[in-house]
Structures are given as structure tokens and as C-alpha cells.
């Protein structure tokens, strides 16, 4: 027969022992001192902080001139080619002078005709004056009538007026000759500045018509220095001032940084003169309810002696708003609410491992690091992250 074991009182003892163990564990958990909450902290240390505005710019020649002609005709010769260096006063192109020469000859012939008419008018005036003087002598001796004397006076005055009219016509004819001479001189196109030929818009043999606009033959630019036209957004332009340091890189050589000083910040948006802009300065897109970005041009110059920089290049520009060397710095993420007096609230990890609120004053802030002017000592731990969630006992419900 197989033996059988019974646990009449033993089962109760085992249950009681397990219960005591659980209660003891819970009591130990609640009665033991709780560990301090855990925070994500960073020590306040010394660092160089630079606040800047990042923008995109376009390189332009510091001076560029469109060389055109004020006369109509065929481009007879082009003395330069793309990339040539020219000096002010050099002959760069010539328009066929046939039409201006004929205009000059016509103006000269008109002047000669008027001068001949003037000589005739002078002789006629001389004769009428003699007749007037004769009539005056005869009227004293009653040898002529009053009517003949008045007729002689009227003729003399009419001849004087005719001579004056011819003088005016001669002056006008001389001005026409001056205009014709100028037009003839315009057929020889002279370089107005020293520079490089950066664009040739008209080739030899083409006919240019200078009726309403001045046709452009070529473009000259001085490339010894370049102007960078930087597009600054409306959110940043209020912080951009003349005299601030500027630097930029180009796509072809991103490791080399060029430096300059901001010389101008335009007061109107870059598309202010666009016909699509309304009288209030708003674009058609903004007036129709479509959000449109607004940019202002900030200008600065850099030397370009080796002509590495070229027109139209894209520049990645950094405009320095403020620099603080060796500043006591904390992460900008640690800054909380800002008070009316400009101070910011932060949390500092105290000696017992508990976060304490503190008000501080900051200086340069580039949204990554912030300079601490007062309120924090070097080496103190600043809370940048929320405390870790503390343990809470589970809720016991009946099922």
C-alpha cells in the first residue's frame, strides 16, 4: 500500500509564511528612504559663443557697366572678345557711320542755305533803311507823302524781323550740326571704365536699333573686388546692422572662408520695384492671401585680386551678430520662461540632488549655447531634461 501524507495544519503554516514574506518586502520598500530623482544635467563651463545670421547671397562685380550705342546702324566691327581686359577710352566697337555722316552733311547744307538767306536779308534791310532815310529827308521838304514814309518805316521793320528770324534758324541749324556730330561720334563705342568683358550681346554684322531703348553691345565689369548681395529674411533683418562682420564660402571651395564688413542694408524688400508689387509694397501673392517670403538685401564687398570669385556665384553667408570669448555657457535648451526684467528661469541641481529654480541673466544666445552673465557659477550642474518618473505603487482593485 502506498503511503499518503496529509497536511491539515501544515498547509495553513505555509500560507502564513508566504504572506509574512510579502508583507515584509512591501514594508521594507515603503519604509526605506527613497532615492533622489534622476535628471539630465550639463555643467556650466567656459566656451566661445558666436551668434550669427545664416543667409544665401549672390556674387556681383563691384562695378558693372552696360556698353551700348545711341545710334541706329549695323555693327561694323567688334574690337574685343569675351574675357578681354580693356582700359577706359579704348575703342571696343564701331557702328557703320554712313547714316550719321549723311545727317551731318544735311545739317551743314541747311546751315549754309540759311547763312546765304541771311546775307540776302542783310542787303534787303540795308536797302529798306536807305529808303526810310530818303523818305525822312523828303518829308521835310514836302517832296513825298506821309503814306510813302510810313510804308518805308514798315518795310524797314519787317526786314529787321526777317533778319532776326534767320538768326534764330541759323542757331537751330548749328545745334543740329552739333547733334549730328555727336551721333557720328557715337558710332565709335569707347570703354567707359577699366574692366573685363563679361558679356557680348551683339555680334559683328547685326543691326542695332536705338529708337526707344539703348541697345547693349557688351558688358564690362571690374572684378578686382566683388559685391555680395545677401538675402536676409524679415525675421532676421531687424538684428542686422551696418558694420557687422560678415564671412562666406563658395560651393567650389567650401574650406576657404572670405571675410568682409556689412556696408549697407536695403530698407525695402528686394522685389519692391517689381511691377507686381502693389502701392502698399505688398506683392500680388500676399494680397491674394498666399504667404510669400520677404527678403531684404544686405551688401558687403571683398577683394578679388586673383579673380577667383566670379559673377553669379552662390555664397553661404554668415553675418556675425555677437561674439563672446571665454564666456560661461550653458545649453540654450536649459532656459525656461523669461521674466519681465529679461531674466530667464533655469533649474540647478542642488547638493541633495534635487532641482532648484533660479533666475539668471544671459548675453549672447545662438540657440545652442547661451552666455550666462549672472546667476550661475562655473561648474554648477544645470538641468536640461525632465526628472525621471518616480516609482508608484500599483493600485489594487477587486476583480
Q: How sure is the predictor about 149, in pLDDT bands with cuts at 50, 70 and 90?
A: confident
Residue 260 Cα distances to 8, 222, 241, 279, angstroms: 97, 18, 13, 35
111-139: average pLDDT: 85
Report whether 259 contacts 246 (CB < 8 A). yes
Residue 268, domain member (yes or no): no
Whole-angstrom Cα distance, residue 128 to residue 120? 12
Would the CA dihedral through 311, 317, 323, 326 be positive or negative?
A: negative
Domain boundary among 139, 164, 186: 186
pLDDT at 277: 53
Between 147 and 73, the more confident residue is 73
132-153: average pLDDT: 76
- Average the pLDDT over each of 130-139, 259-268, 310-319, 349-358 and give the range with the smallest value: 130-139
Instruction: Looking at the structure, tell me whether residues 45 and 119 fall in a common domain.
Output: no
Instruction: Looking at the structure, tell me whether residues 122 and 180 fall in a common domain.
Output: yes
Residue 180, domain member (yes or no): yes
Residue 196, domain member (yes or no): no
Domain boundary among 186, 211, 231: 186
- Average per-residue pLDDT for the chain: 82
Residue 118 Cα distances to 106, 168, 172, 316, 391, angstroms: 18, 11, 14, 72, 118
pLDDT at 244: 92
The CATH number covering residue 128 comes to 1.10.287
Please name the residues in contact with 313: beta carbons below 8 A apart, sequence gap of 6 or more. 58, 59, 250, 251, 252
Residue 299 Cα distances to 101, 234, 247, 312, 342, angstroms: 46, 16, 12, 15, 32
pLDDT at 263: 95
Between 337 and 210, the more confident residue is 337
294-334 pLDDT, tens digit per residue, is 899 999 999 999 999 999 999 999 999 888 888 899 999 88
Residue 309, domain member (yes or no): no
Cα–Cα–Cα angle for 369, 375, 376, rounded to 5 degrees: 60
- Average the pLDDT over each of 3-17, 48-62, 292-306 and give the range with the smallest value: 3-17
Between 28 and 228, the more confident residue is 228
Whole-angstrom Cα distance, residue 377 to residue 356? 14
Please name the residues in contact with 301: beta carbons below 8 A apart, sequence gap of 6 or more. 62, 225, 226, 227, 228, 260, 263
Give Dmax over CA atoms of the chain in angstroms: 196
330-381 pLDDT, tens digit per residue, is 999 889 998 898 899 999 988 777 888 999 999 888 888 999 999 999 988 8
Would the CA dihedral through 168, 172, 174, 175 be positive or negative?
A: positive
Report whether 220 contacts 192 (CB < 8 A). yes
Instruction: Looking at the structure, tell me whether residues 44 and 117 fall in a common domain.
Output: no
Residue 343, domain member (yes or no): yes
Give yes or no for residue 49 having a pLDDT over 50.
yes
Whole-angstrom Cα distance, residue 297 to residue 277? 17
pLDDT at 355: 86
Q: How sure is the predictor about 289, in pLDDT bands with cuts at 50, 70 and 90?
A: low
DSSP label at 332? G
pLDDT at 227: 95
Give yes or no for residue 278 having a pLDDT over 80.
no
92-108: average pLDDT: 92
Q: How sure is the predictor about 286, in pLDDT bands with cuts at 50, 70 and 90?
A: low
The CATH number covering residue 365 comes to 2.40.420.20
Residue 289, domain member (yes or no): no
DSSP label at 170? H
| 104: containing domain | 97-186
- At residue 89, the 3 state secondary structure works out as coil
pLDDT at 393: 41
Cα–Cα–Cα angle for 27, 32, 37, rounded to 5 degrees: 125
Whole-angstrom Cα distance, residue 151 to residue 168? 26
The number of domains in the chain is 2
Closest by CA to 44, choosing from 363, 322, 348, 344, is 348
pLDDT at 394: 43
pLDDT at 287: 55
Q: How sure is the predictor about 139, in pLDDT bands with cuts at 50, 70 and 90?
A: confident
Residue with cell 573685363: 196
Q: How many residues does the chain have?
A: 399
- At residue 149, the 3 state secondary structure works out as helix
Instruction: Looking at the structure, tell me whether residues 45 and 113 fall in a common domain.
Output: no
Instruction: Looking at the structure, tell me whether residues 110 and 176 fall in a common domain.
Output: yes
pLDDT at 106: 94
Residue 12, domain member (yes or no): no
Domain boundary among 186, 215, 230: 186
Instruction: Looking at the structure, tell me whether residues 104 and 163 fall in a common domain.
Output: yes
Containing H/E element for 186? helix 146-186
Q: How sure is the predictor about 16, in pLDDT bands with cuts at 50, 70 and 90?
A: very low
Residue 146, domain member (yes or no): yes
Amino acid at each position: 500500500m502506498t503511503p499518503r501524507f496529509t497536511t491539515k495544519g501544515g498547509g495553513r503554516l505555509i500560507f502564513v509564511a508566504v504572506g509574512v514574506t510579502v508583507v515584509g518586502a512591501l514594508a521594507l520598500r515603503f519604509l526605506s528612504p527613497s532615492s533622489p530623482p534622476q535628471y539630465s544635467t550639463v555643467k556650466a563651463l567656459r566656451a566661445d559663443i558666436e551668434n550669427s545670421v545664416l543667409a544665401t547671397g549672390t556674387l556681383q562685380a563691384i562695378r558693372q557697366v552696360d556698353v551700348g550705342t545711341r545710334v541706329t546702324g549695323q555693327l561694323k566691327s567688334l574690337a574685343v572678345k569675351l574675357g578681354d581686359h580693356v582700359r577706359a577710352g579704348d575703342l571696343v566697337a564701331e557702328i557703320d557711320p554712313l547714316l550719321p555722316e549723311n545727317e551731318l552733311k544735311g545739317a551743314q547744307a541747311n546751315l549754309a542755305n540759311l547763312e546765304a538767306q541771311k546775307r540776302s536779308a542783310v542787303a534787303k534791310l540795308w536797302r529798306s533803311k536807305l529808303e526810310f532815310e530818303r523818305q525822312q529827308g523828303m518829308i521835310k521838304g514836302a517832296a513825298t507823302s506821309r503814306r510813302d514814309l510810313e510804308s518805308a518805316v514798315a518795310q524797314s521793320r519787317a526786314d529787321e524781323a526777317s533778319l532776326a528770324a534767320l538768326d534764330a534758324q541759323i542757331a537751330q541749324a548749328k545745334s543740329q550740326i552739333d547733334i549730328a556730330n555727336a551721333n557720328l561720334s557715337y558710332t565709335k563705342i569707347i570703354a567707359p571704365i577699366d574692366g573685363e568683358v563679361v558679356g557680348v550681346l551683339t555680334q559683328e554684322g547685326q543691326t542695332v536699333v536705338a529708337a526707344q531703348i539703348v541697345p547693349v553691345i557688351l558688358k564690362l565689369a571690374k572684378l578686382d573686388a566683388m559685391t555680395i548681395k545677401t538675402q536676409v529674411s524679415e525675421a532676421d533683418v531687424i538684428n542686422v546692422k551696418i558694420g557687422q562682420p560678415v564671412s562666406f564660402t563658395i560651393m567650389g571651395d567650401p574650406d576657404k572662408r572670405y571675410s568682409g564688413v556689412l556696408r549697407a542694408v536695403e530698407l525695402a524688400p528686394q522685389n519692391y520695384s517689381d511691377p507686381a508689387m502693389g502701392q502698399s509694397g505688398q506683392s500680388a501673392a500676399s494680397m491674394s492671401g498666399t504667404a510669400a517670403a520677404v527678403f531684404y538685401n544686405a551688401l558687403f564687398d571683398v577683394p578679388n585680386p586673383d579673380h577667383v570669385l566670379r559673377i553669379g556665384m552662390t555664397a553661404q553667408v554668415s553675418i556675425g551678430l555677437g561674439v563672446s570669448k571665454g564666456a560661461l555657457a550653458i545649453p540654450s535648451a536649459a532656459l525656461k520662461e523669461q521674466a519681465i526684467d529679461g531674466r530667464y528661469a533655469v533649474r540647478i541641481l542642488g547638493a541633495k540632488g534635487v532641482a532648484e529654480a533660479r533666475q539668471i541673466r544671459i548675453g549672447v544666445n545662438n540657440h545652442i549655447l547661451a552666455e550666462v552673465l549672472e546667476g550661475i557659477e562655473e561648474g554648477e550642474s544645470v538641468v536640461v531634461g525632465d526628472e525621471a518618473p518616480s516609482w508608484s505603487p500599483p493600485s489594487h482593485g477587486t476583480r
